[in-house]
Structure 1
Amino acid sequence: MSWRIGIDTGGTFTDLVALNDITGEEKVLKTSSTPEDPSQAFLNGIQGFLEEIDVSATDISMLLHGTTVATNAVLEAKYSRLGLIVSKGYRDMLEVARQNVPGEFGAISYWIKPPRIVPLELVRETDGRLNYRGEELRPLDEEGIRIAAREYRELGVKAIAVSFIHSYQNPAHEERAREIIQEEYPECFVSISSDVIREYREYERTLTTCLNTGLMPLLSTYLDRLGERTKEAGTQAPLYVMKSSGGVATASELIKRPIAASLSGPAAGVIAAAAISNAAGIEDVLTLDMGGTSTDMALIEGGIPRLLTEGKIDIYDIKAPMIDMTTVGAGGGSIAWLAGSKALRVGPQSAGSTPGPVCYGRGGTEPTITDANLVLGRIPPYLLGGEIPLDRQAAYEAIKTKIADPLGLSVEKAAAGILEIATQNIATGIRVVSVRRGRDPRSYALFPFGGAGGLLVSPVANALDMRSILVPTSPGATAAAGLLYSDVRVDHVITDVQREDELNSSRLDEEFVEVRDRVTKDLEGQGFTIDRIRVQAFIDMRYVGQAYEIRVPLSIVEGSIVDTLADAIKGFHVAHEDQYGYSYENKSLVEIVNIGVTGFGQLAPPEQRPRQYSDRKWSDFLKFTRPLYINDLGDYVNCPVYDRPTEPISEMLSGPAVIEQYDTTTVVEPGWQVAVNEFGHLLITRNDKEER
């Protein structure tokens, strides 16, 4: 049992990275995704690996999976029909929501709120009330819960969410309600808010719980299907699934909290980027994950991905730990089209893998970013080492007919325009996770991955005036590799609002012990012994009178929280200054809002082994030359095309150059130069001797 396998299912391709824990050998495979049944591509990947390596399925020690199933279900509103039970008087909670209006300064004058995830006719109220300290004011109406459960069963509702006011302080009423529902309707999925998110703000807590509940039947079916697929492949290896926070969870744990996987797919790539760039001595990185459907961007600072405690998925605000990412509709399959005024647009619509870009020859008729890259000589006339032939003439005709002729442009200018718009869309997305967070992208390295990540990396870096680019060894499979670098992660939080001048220290310590023990118990339940568990405490703080808080780490595992509070408050002032440009130190009191603990069950990440530099030159890897269109010149140049070296090379190669490998192509534009570092990564830097 020596092979760990990471499988990432994207919209176009499913990527597999297998690592031999004994020898360090690594294998990369790609297979077409199967959107109608994503588990089929999962099985195809395992079977393809077993055939290529000629090993037994019993040699697989662990399976790790990144999936967009939960994300797509939310985006396409394909979650299960569900009911919601709330405290009496809170039936319209989802309708009331918050007062936020989209647009700068609430500039949208006419706006319709998003549709309710639970129709009003499926919301039930029940009596029973807790105060803000969690003390019972009125007992739970147990008969009312029974009646509601029976009604839901008669209506065919398969999932029920329970969210009571102040249950974050005392889950007893919610836990009893779940017991009653399971007695009356045992086949129903039930999710209670105090399990999903034990924090105050009832709207976010309720909405997150509803989404979690709606995803439970879908994720349960999908993960059960994956279990069947792994048995079909002949392996009994444990299955872990990536969470939005960058950790993984066992399949059985994720069925209880599927909302944790709402951004499963993109998170793994960011974890890989952090591990790979750290090993290369680059701690501050902006990631660019360009796949077939979209491009995801994130910020890594000090070697750690930036994390949010809440975020947005489509139209819904959810409260769950997630890597801070933004997405633009600029993937390889993104469609180029003309708006009514003949303005050229790219995305967000995508041709996906079926029918795919025109050049795939699978019936696609709309020109895409991939078609533009092919016409301009940026990619070879095939993908995956020749497995997928590409039809350049078909791509040329599609761009000519749909874009170039209506605009009165040459096909080359039209194709270059498609790529320029995609470049600017991606650059705008990177500014969202950097400039809008108070970070200057010029101080960061760009880390491109995904099947199309290396194609536009130089233009994107030019647009942002960045000076260095790090391309990993297998860009097209980086997200799958990231699964191998992930630990099992558990987050638990308790809300207790206290001002710094009115602290109840004994209560804080009791709550810290409670939440730490919950984290430890969860990890032990997932098979980890105490020596493989690491915990990190944190505290959410704000100035008195503020509405939202900032998370600050606590340097404590044992002992009293109060002993570390002074340092935490200083850290809060620094974090506030960093995030907002000012602080109120010595001017305003600070208050604690939440106490939390993050726990990690350590899975032993792969060792990254540097290698000796080779005496070989870039000329040893030259394949041939082909025409490459350079937009600044307005013409093709005869460009050298290289096989990607697998060993470190210190010699600098100046662009233009095209570097090809099995899973992607990297284009080095004029004004840039490239070497191969000791880990086999392409290090592309600005060539200041040449004009861009």
Structure 2
Amino acid sequence: MRYVIGVDVGGTFTDVVGVDEEGREFLAKAASTPHDQSEGVIQGLRNLASMLGLTLGELLETTTRIVHGTTVATNALLERRGARTAMLTTEGHRDVVAMREGLKPARYDLRLPAPEPLIPRRLRLGVRERLRPDGAVETPLDAASLDAAITTLRAEGVEAVSICFLHSWAAPAHEHAAAEAVRAALPGVFVTCSADVLPQIKEYERFSTAAVNAYVGPVVSRYLMRLEARLQEAGCAAPVFVILSHGGVAPIAEAARLAAGTALSGPAGGVVAAVALARRGMGANLVTFDMGGTSTDIALVTDGAAAIGRGREVGGERIALDSLDIITLGAGGGSIAHLGAGGTLQVGPQSAGARPGPACYGRGGTLPTVTDANLLLGYLDPGSFLGGAQRLDVAAAERAMALLAGALGLDAAQAALGVHRLVNARMADGVRVATVRRGVDPRGATLLAFGGAAGLHASAVARDLGMARVAVPLFAAGLSAWGMLQTELRHEIARSVVGAGAMPGDDALPALFDGLAEEARAQLAQWYGGEIGLSLAADMRYGEQVFEITVPLDGVVPTRAALREAFHARHRALFTYDLPEEEVVLVTARAAARGVLPALPRLPAGAPRPATPEAERRCLLEGGWTMLPVWRFEALAAGQRVAGPAIVESPTTTVLLQPGDAAVMEPGGWLAVSLG
């Protein structure tokens, strides 16, 4: 038997999903190891092997590919634990990353201090050189100036260097020459050029993205190389891919080179899974609700496709690479409940993490968390958590919650219900940000709940939003890792266009897009020998506008008239109007090459096996304590119905059905809940 494996590292648990040749799916979990995520990955693989009756070596010998989602880059940015980084830039322009387009997070707060740049000013060094916007040399690269900067870099002991020259997107020769000199003088230092990371106009976005890439590059590279070495030592000969923020995957070497592209690596797997489930019949419009131990990630799938954004900020730093449009909240199962200003109840954003974790994990945690609250409310079975592999400590949860309850003048159960209500309200607000504030009515969509904790909160969150449907996959706790096996290799090329006219002529446009397509194909062909697909797009705007929109061009012949019409149509779709009489400006041309990986096999539907509740559990709902029937999730037959209030439980997921909920098990493997 051969396997493909997806690995998702979360803040509390590392999920490992294996799918065999017959389509059978297996989920194993291990505690995440923030000090070295590869330890948790190897332990998760070992747990999966044990589940299959294999040794780790036997499992890896029969594995055909591994796809990995990591939070190493994200954590380095959030915790400011990246490499000691310097920047070489055109003389007189070292403050571009500090000025940040003249904006600040709260522009009307006059007392708000300026954000601290990722690279301190004394390590942002000017080099004498200058290019014109068309790439022509105005001032040649000055060797003496470059040597002086390199001398400073050596004295400062930097680990990474970001090279960001003006207009290098049009002609990267100066950046490449400087990079060659730095590598020769400082072997072992991570060097990145802005023209290689983001070859397009807009100085701040290009400079900031390159700075992030240099800052997290050494950390990500060391981690991925260490993981690859450990896998090879354990017997793995299969290719290992890393999922990037845009939802495609790349080999380890490419992910290490473009480390900034891994900033949303883990959450991307869940969105890719949502797209796959939409194609399997869950619904064309989904709101993903991925609630794990540390955070909750929310995204939209509209008409079966996920939105791609650009210019995301992670840890306050702009990353202008393509990424799935995901909103992250600091609310998860491990979020700590506490009293805020004025003695009001607060939940998160602080988390108990993997170590020590919630108090009920028995690893030394003493602060009350959302998981402790759910245990005290009766929603979790202390003896069957993770299939019985870990017993939850009810007494420890009571002690932790008692501290908070005493301050509120409540008993522990009432305080736990307050924590449950509050985290539901916070997550509903997060969904509003992702939908209502963007002009999308969530009431016509299905809330797709996954992650280890989402099933306990999805019904209440959907009710708060006026949504009528919730879907919870049987594989909810490992859906992000499963989604990583549903994606494809992807390599993107972009090139900005600046000329005398708003748009190149019909003689130049085909050559522009054909050149990008060939470049993208050639790069992908270095990693992959299979079928390669291609997508084209363009960033365009009206002449009087400042910001562009990305227009898909699949199936569009690149002529001026066709590009204008495609832009007008896209503008109408986004903003309900277009201006046919206005000039349309082509700013950046894009091409994405896609390597299609083998599809996962589908397990044939088995014979119906209607189940009955196997137990009852005393739970606290809004109406008071009541006995709820407990159903085994994996025992439900396709078409079987469960009426709320009830609990549907699997080894890794628990679903709370509220009074009035009506659930049916769908043949595709998810519980479809209609809210009363």
TM-score where L is the length of structure 2 = 0.96
Residue in structure 2 matched with residue 690 of structure 1 by the alignment = none
CA distance in 2, matches of 1:231, 1:679: 35
Assess if the C-alpha contact under 8 Å between 1:553 and 1:568 holds in 2.
no
Moved more, 439-448 or 278-287: 278-287
> 2:570 aligns to what?
575
What residue in structure 1 maps to residue 605 of structure 2? Answer: 611
How do 1:501-516 and structure 2 match up within 5 A? 503-516=504-517
Instruction: Name the CA distance, whole Å, in 2 between partners of 1:655 and 1:135.
Output: 70
Q: Aligned partners of 1:318, 1:659: CA distance in 2, in Å?
A: 41
Q: How does 1:47-58 map to 2 (within 5 A)?
A: 47-55=46-54, 56=58, 57-58=60-61
* Cα deviation, residue 623, structure 1: 1.4
Quote the residue 1:66 is aligned against.
Answer: 69
Q: 2:593 aligns with which of 595, 599, 603?
A: 599
| Post-superposition offset of 1:646 | 4.7
Partner of 2:32: 33
Partner of 2:8: 8
The one-letter code of the counterpart of 2:9 is T
CA contact (8 A) 2:610 2:637 kept: no
1:409 alignment partner, SS class: coil
* Contact 2:134 2:498 survives alignment (8 Å): no
> Is 140-149 or 169-178 further displaced after alignment?
140-149
Query: Structure 1: how far apart are the matches of 2:611 and 2:433?
Result: 37
1:223 positional shift: 0.8
Is the partner of 2:639 in helix, strand or coil? Answer: strand
User: 1:583-662 counterparts in 2 under 5 A?
Assistant: 583-609=577-603, 611=605, 614=608, 616-619=609-612, 622-631=613-622, 633=623, 635-646=624-635, 648-662=637-651
3-state DSSP of counterpart to 1:270: helix
2:577, 2:500 → 1: CA distance? 17
- Deviation for aligned residue 1:609: 4.8
Show CA shifts across 1:438-457 (max 9, x none).
11000110001111010101
Alpha-carbon separation, structure 2, partners of 1:353 and 1:125 = 43
Q: Distance in 2 between matches of 1:302 and 1:139?
A: 51
- In the alignment, which residue of structure 2 is the partner of 1:461? 462
Structure 2 CA distance, aligned partners of 1:149 and 1:528? 40
CA distance in structure 1 between the partners assigned to 2:616 and 2:412 by the alignment: 22
Aligned residue number for residue 400 of structure 1: 402
Counterpart residue identity of residue 685, structure 1: S
What's the CA shift for 1:100?
2.1
Task: Work out whether 1:390 is the aligned partner of 2:379.
Answer: no
**1:429-578 pair list within 5 angstroms:** 429-497=430-498, 503-529=504-530, 532-556=531-555, 561-562=558-559, 565-578=560-573
- Do the aligned partners of residues 25 and 282 (structure 1) sit closer, same or farther apart at CA in structure 2, a change above 3 Å counting? same
Aligned ranges 1:15-414 → 2 under 5 Å: 15-20=15-20, 22-55=21-54, 56=58, 57-103=60-106, 106-382=107-383, 383-402=385-404, 404-414=405-415
TM-superposed CA distance for 1:181, in Å, is 1.7
* Amino acid corresponding to residue 413 of structure 2 in structure 1: E
- Cα distance in 2 for partners of 1:161, 1:5 equals 35
2:14 aligned partner, one-letter code = T
Letter in 2 for 1:76: E
| Corresponding residue for residue 677 of structure 1 | 666
What is the deviation of 1:409? 2.4
Asked if the contact 1:499/1:590 (under 8 Å) is kept, the reply is no
CA drift at 1:233: 1.6
For residues 18-44 of structure 1, give each alpha carbon's deviation from its aligned partner in whole angstroms, at most 9, with x where no partner exists.
112x32222111111111211011111
The alpha carbon displacement at 1:525 in A equals: 1.3
Q: Which string of whole-angstrom CA distances, capped at 9 and with x for unpartnered residues, describes residues 578-630 of structure 1? A: 434x434234222111100111111123144562672x4342xx111011111
CA RMSD of aligned residues (A): 1.8
Kindly tell me: are residues 325 and 646 of structure 1, through their superposed partners in 2, closer, same or farther at Cα, counting changes over 3 Å? Answer: same
Using the TM superposition, name which of 458-467 and 132-141 deviates more: 132-141
One-letter amino acid of the structure 2 residue matched with residue 92 of structure 1? D
Contact 1:497 1:591 in 2 (8 A): no
User: Letter of the aligned partner of 2:394 in structure 1?
Assistant: R
CA distance in 1 between partners of 2:430 and 2:341 (Å): 25
Q: Which amino acid in 2 is paired with 1:561?
A: P
Q: CA deviation at 1:177?
A: 1.5
Instruction: Please state how far the C-alpha of 1:500 moved relative to its aligned partner.
Output: 7.6
Amino acid at match of 2:558: I
Change (3 A) 1:585 1:340: closer
Task: Give the distance between the partners of 1:337 and 1:227, measured in 2 at CA.
Answer: 41
Distance change >3 Å, CA 548–CA 93, structure 1 → 2: same
Cα offset, 1:396, TM superposition: 2.3
Measured against aligned partners, the alpha-carbon deviations of 1:73-97 in whole angstroms (never above 9, x if no partner) come to 0101111011111112212212222
1: CA distance, partners of 2:122 / 2:306: 42
How far, CA to CA, are the matches of 2:501 and 2:637 in structure 1? 55
| Worse-matched range after superposition: 492-501 or 593-602 | 492-501
Q: Look up the equivalent residue of 1:629 and give its one-letter code.
A: L
Quote the Cα distance in structure 1 between the aligned partners of 2:511 and 2:137.
20
The AA in structure 2 aligned to 1:71 is: T
Shift of residue 469, structure 1, vs aligned partner: 1.1
Cα deviation, 1:309-355, whole Å, max 9, x if unaligned, reads 22111211220111111111110010000113110000000111211
Q: What is the TM-score of this pair, normalised by structure 1?
A: 0.94
| Aligned AA (2:41) | F
Q: Secondary structure at the match of 1:97?
A: helix
The 2-side partners of 1:68 and 1:597 are apart by 27
1:139-186 deviation per Cα after TM superposition (whole angstroms, max 9, x unaligned): 222342233223312321121111111111111111122122222223
Query: Hey, what's the Cα distance between the residues in 2 that align with 1:107 and 1:190?
Result: 37
Please report how far the alpha carbon of residue 662 of structure 1 lies from its aligned counterpart in structure 2 after TM superposition.
Answer: 1.2
Structure 1 residues 466, 142: CA separation in 2 closer, same or farther (over 3 Å shift)?
same
Counterpart-to-counterpart distance in 1, 2:172 and 2:607: 59
Structure 1 unaligned spans of 5+: 688-692
In 2, distance between residues paired with 1:646 and 1:43?
A: 30
Counterpart CA distance in 2 for 1:330 and 1:116 is 27
